[in-house]
């Protein structure tokens, strides 16, 4: 069986074939510096109270965390944007799991700093069945300990590969987030928390699903 990480590793292998080593080195430096900052150790941990939020979905409708949690446990996936192939692959994995989640009474929502318009494109292009929420300025992601500012040298790299972060996110802050997966119980507590400074590493959805199933009724 092909795992999500197998698929992500294939993206990495193909990227290494296509991108010059000196350009790859820029991303590697950014990952190492982010890891060294200790940001992974500062994310909102298991057992903490999850921040409440109200964010617009792809159609511009406000979605409130309290309303979602009133229906059952919530899997909250934080992703960087539709420009990131790793994020797209991960969200498609959650899309494929969605029927099982709903049957079990578990909800899913995805959150990114990209604009509502970008989310709308993404939902249509990838047939996503769950809410894709816009988090302007990474405000909610910051409460989960996931937000950081892209350093100048890495901004130049993104420009060089035509990834226009300010345009995609709708502001000039150059803020981005760690990809992360949370499971929040109906009582509003964090039951599962995984985030990685290396954007090429993601938890397996099945692992988070198990935590969500365990949170049903809690």
Residue 190 forms part of a structural domain: yes
Residue 187 forms part of a structural domain: yes
CATH number at residue 65: 3.40.30.10
Strands 107-112, 74-78: pairing is parallel
- pLDDT attached to residue 217: 66
- Unique residue bearing structure tokens 């795992």: 3
The mean predicted confidence, pLDDT, of the chain is 95
pLDDT of residue 57: 97
Contact 163, 83 (CB under 8 A): yes
C-alpha–C-alpha distance, residues 32 and 187, integer Å: 36
CA distance 78 to 87: 9
Task: Tell me if 122 is assigned to some domain.
Answer: yes
92: containing domain: 4-39+55-215
Distance, C-alpha 84 to centroid of its chain: 10
Q: What is the pLDDT, as a whole number, of residue 21?
A: 86
Residue 44 lies in a domain: no
Q: Check residues 218 and 166 and name the one with the higher pLDDT.
A: 166
Q: Which is more confidently placed, 39 or 214? A: 39
**Residue 181 maps to a domain:** yes
- Assign 76 a pLDDT band (cuts: 50, 70, 90): very high
Please determine, for residue 18, whether its predicted confidence score (pLDDT) is greater than 90.
no
Q: What is the mean pLDDT of residues 73-83?
A: 97
- Give the mean model confidence (pLDDT) for residues 163-171: 96
The answer as to whether 12 is a domain residue is yes
pLDDT of res. 24? 86
- b/e burial code for range 141-153 (CB count within 10 A of at least 16 → b): beebbbbbebeee
- What is the count of structural domains for the chain? 1
Residue among 22, 27, 70, 79 nearest 194 (CA): 79
| 170 in any annotated domain | yes
Q: Indicate whether 119 pLDDT > 80.
A: yes
Q: What percent of the chain has pLDDT over 90?
A: 89
Q: How confident is the model at residue 1 (pLDDT cuts 50, 70, 90)?
A: confident
Average pLDDT of the residues in 96-114? 95
Q: Average of pLDDT values for 153-170?
A: 93
**For the whole model, what pTM was predicted?**
0.95
Q: What is the pLDDT of residue 23?
A: 83
The interaxial angle of helices 85-103 and 116-126, nearest 10 deg, is: 70
Q: Is residue 48 part of a domain?
A: no
User: Mean of the pLDDT values across residues 172-181?
Assistant: 97
Higher pLDDT, 20 or 144: 144
Q: pLDDT-based confidence at 112, cuts 50/70/90?
A: very high
């Amino acid at each position: 069986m092909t795992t999500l990480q197998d698929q992500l590793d294939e993206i990495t292998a193909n990227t290494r074939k296509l991108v010059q080593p000196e350009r790859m080195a820029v991303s590697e430096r950014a990952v190492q510096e982010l890891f060294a900052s200790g940001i992974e150790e500062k994310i909102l941990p298991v057992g903490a109270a999850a921040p409440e939020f109200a964010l617009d979905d792809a159609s511009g409708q406000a979605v409130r965390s309290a309303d979602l949690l009133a229906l059952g446990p919530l899997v909250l996936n934080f992703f960087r944007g539709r420009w990131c192939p790793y994020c797209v692959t991960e969200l498609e994995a959650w899309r494929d799991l969605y029927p099982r989640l709903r049957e079990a009474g578990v909800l899913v929502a995805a959150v990114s700093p990209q604009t509502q318009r970008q989310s709308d494109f993404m939902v249509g292009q990838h047939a996503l069945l769950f809410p894709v929420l816009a988090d302007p300025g990474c405000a909610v992601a910051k409460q989960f300990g996931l937000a950081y500012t892209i350093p100048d040298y890495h901004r130049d790299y993104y420009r060089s590969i035509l990834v226009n972060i300010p345009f995609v996110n709708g502001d000039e802050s150059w803020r981005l987030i760690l990809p992360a997966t949370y499971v929040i119980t109906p009582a509003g507590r964090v039951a599962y928390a995984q985030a990685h400074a290396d954007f090429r590493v993601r938890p397996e959805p099945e692992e988070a699903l198990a935590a969500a199933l365990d949170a049903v009724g809690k």
